[in-house]
A and B are shown apart, each in its own frame.
Chain A
Amino acid sequence: MINFHEVSKRYNSLAALADISLEIETGEFVFLIGPTGAGKSTLLKLIIREELPTSGRVFVGDTEVSSLSPTQVPFLRRRVGTVFQDFKLLPQRTVLENVAFPLEILGLDDSEIEKVSKETLSLVSLEDKAEHFPYQLSGGEAQRTAIARAMVLRPEVILADEPTGNLDAASAWEIMQLLGRLNSLGTTVIMATHNMDISTSLPHRNLEIQKGRISRDSKEKKSKASAAKKKS
């Protein structure tokens, strides 16, 4: 689904990512873990072409992201939903209107937009908050709205950059359950977090990044362990 081939990203003399090669399969749930400044967000930005690699190649499915023309980038972003720590909701729009925003951009007709937006809101259990404005929501509800907006175009992948960073523990677990449910429906989820409690307590792949390099990949470890078991 997502492939990085020897990808490096430098900001002037600072190396944000160095020689990253990885493969994420369709339907996987991957935690990107590591301290602040390790390169987690940069890695996510490369997937949606917010940034271009200094060297190497990035693929989403068969699409080579790094060689896309600017006019093709919006079509890539419709395939990849994004969720952020600060929610990035439009304050003057209601919850339903925020969720409907990506559909409006596609130019769908109003009845279709309303139908799909309501369906997606029910997916995150926010039907009763449809007419509320973001300032009337709790942090957890705001993040669920942001997830609904990311899901409304039915993307193949969800990128979540510290989605629980601004939430209390209970809300954070709610969000994790929601992302888990979306993943179980077939959506690939890549979530950057520095919350080790969350990443270690769930049975998902952990990719640890330190100083721009992958320092640990739980999948590799598991494969090695199962290979060793088979050998013995």
Chain B
Amino acid sequence: MRNPYNALAAFLVMFLTFFVAGAFVLISVGSNVLLSYFESRPAVTAFLKDDTGSEKVKEIQDSLTATGVVSKTRYVSKEEALKIYKERNKNEPLLTEFVTAEILPASIEVSTAKLEDLSKVATILKNETAVEEVVFQKNIIETLSNWTRAVRNIGGAVVVFLLATSFLTTLIVVGLNISLHKDEIEIMRLVGATAGYIRAPFIFEGVFYGAISGLAATAALWGIFTWFSPTLQRIFSGVPLLPADPAVFGYLLLVEIVAGVAIGVVGAFVATRKYLTI
């Protein structure tokens, strides 16, 4: 008979490991989506004064193209700005009810091939008399990029630490079970059981802890993610982050179960090598 407290300890430690690992994977995937989103967006937006004519717009666009660092420019008229605004706020009728094209500014959206050229483009635009305000996303992208890197590094270190803890916990719990069953093991040896026959239940025990923990951790992440989805959707409105692709959770489940089984097998195998005299 297995000791339920040992089994619970092994399950909880492995569950925590795979829950944290899964959370970091999801955060990392989400950050990458966010980063790609911001990188693909126009990096500098110049809002134009209301009296700016199409000739002036063309002149500004030409002067930007002449710098050689601009990859794309796009004029967004007041009507187009209204359309975008309405699309973004389609679920909030109160926000769209009293807004007309007149109160939204026309703008020029500019993308550069390299992130470091954004400042140069922003300076040119700021010096234009027809430009009311310049917004550029260099800081957002850089901050996000730094965050993504930090999440990966810290997450990686935490996960490695937790994986080591899980491995050692499996080893100790299986080792304890071996010592609890030492009489049975001795009898098995004496009546001619092979090493594989004696080891198998303990290896299976490790597999069980790993598989159940991986499954439970992914299920918990899925539940929490589903619970917070409406909130996340509000925060990241316009970013193609949600609804999450179910395949992401499918892969996560597969990876967590495979990793759980691998840790369980290796931990239990080392335990049987160390504590089981056959």
* Chain B residue at minimal CB-CB distance from A88: B187
B189 to chain A: which residues have CB within 8 Å? 74, 77
Proximity bits, A131-163, B CB within 8 Å = 1, else 0: 000000000000000000100010000000000
A101 to B192: give the CA distance in the assembly, Å. Answer: 10
Chain B 262-278 per-residue mask, 1 if CB under 8 angstroms from chain A, else 0: 00000000000000001
Cβ distance A99 to chain B, nearest Cβ, rounded Å:
11
- CB pair A70 B278 closer than 8 Å: yes
Cβ-based interface call for B244 (8 A): no
Chain A residue contacts of B193, Cβ below 8 A: 74, 105
Size category, B interface: 10 to 19
B183 to chain A, nearest CB (A): 7
Please pick, from B183, B190, B278, the residue contacting A82 in the complex, using a CB distance under 8 A.
B190
Q: A165 — which chain B residues lie within 8 A by C-beta?
A: none
Instruction: Give the distance to chain B from A156, nearest Cβ to Cβ, in Å.
Output: 13
Q: Mark A49-84, 1 if CB is under 8 A from B, else 0.
A: 000000000000000000000110011111000100
| Residue with the highest number of chain A CB atoms closer than 10 Å, among B186, B187, B192, B193 | B192
| Nearest A-chain residue to B194, judged by Cβ | A74
A180 proximal to B (CB < 8 A) = no
Give the interface centre of B191, B195, B278 by most chain A CB atoms within 10 Å.
B191
Q: What count of chain A residues pass the 8 Å CB interface test?
A: 18
Contact status of A77 and B192, CB under 8 A, knowing A88-B183, A88-B186: yes
Q: State the Cβ distance, A153 to closest chain B Cβ, in Å.
A: 7
Whether a CB of chain B sits under 8 angstroms from the CB of A48 is: yes
A75-B192 contact in complex given A70-B278, A92-B1, A105-B197, C-beta closer than 8 Å: yes
Question: Across the interface, do B190 and A88 meet the contact criterion of CB distance under 8 Å?
Answer: yes
Instruction: Determine the residue in chain B with the shortest Cβ distance to A101.
Output: B191
Proximity bits, A2-27, B CB within 8 Å = 1, else 0: 00000000000000000000000000
Per DSSP, chain A at the interface is helix
Q: Which B residues from 142 to 193 make CB contacts under 8 A with A?
A: 183-184, 186-193
Q: What is the CA–CA distance of A105 and B196 in the complex, to the nearest angstrom? A: 11
Partner of A71, one of B188, B192, B195: B195
- CB neighbors of B among A83-104 (8 A): 88, 90, 92, 101-102
State which of B1, B187, B192, B195 has its C-beta within 8 Å of the C-beta of A70: B195
Q: Mark B216-249, 1 if CB is under 8 A from A, else 0.
A: 0000000000000000000000000000000000
Q: Is the CB of A78 within 8 A of B194?
A: no
Question: What B residues does A149 contact at CB under 8 A?
Answer: 191
Task: Identify which of A78, A90, A92 contacts B192 (C-beta below 8 A).
Answer: A78
Residue of B nearest to A155 (CB): B192
**Which residue of chain A has its CB nearest to the CB of B188?**
A105
In Å, the complex CA distance between A220 and B191 comes to 33
- Convert B119-159 into 0s and 1s, putting 1 for each residue whose CB lies closer than 8 angstroms to a CB of A: 00000000000000000000000000000000000000000
Chain A 203-222 interface residues, beta-carbon cutoff 8 Å to B: none
A75 to B192 alpha-carbon distance, docked (Å)? 6
CA distance A77 to B197 in the complex (A): 14
Question: Is the Cβ of B184 less than 8 Å from the Cβ of A90?
Answer: yes
Q: Chain B nearest CB: distance from A120 CB in Å?
A: 13
- Nearest chain B residue, comparing its CB with the CB of A79: B192
Q: Are B278 and A105 in contact (CB under 8 A)?
A: no
Residue from the list B1, B184, B191 in contact with A77, Cβ < 8 A: B191
> What are 7 A-B contacts with C-beta separation under 8 Å?
A74-B193, A74-B194, A88-B190, A102-B191, A102-B192, A105-B192, A153-B191
Q: List A residues at the B interface (Cβ < 8 Å).
A: 48, 70-71, 74-78, 82, 88, 90, 92, 101-102, 105-106, 149, 153
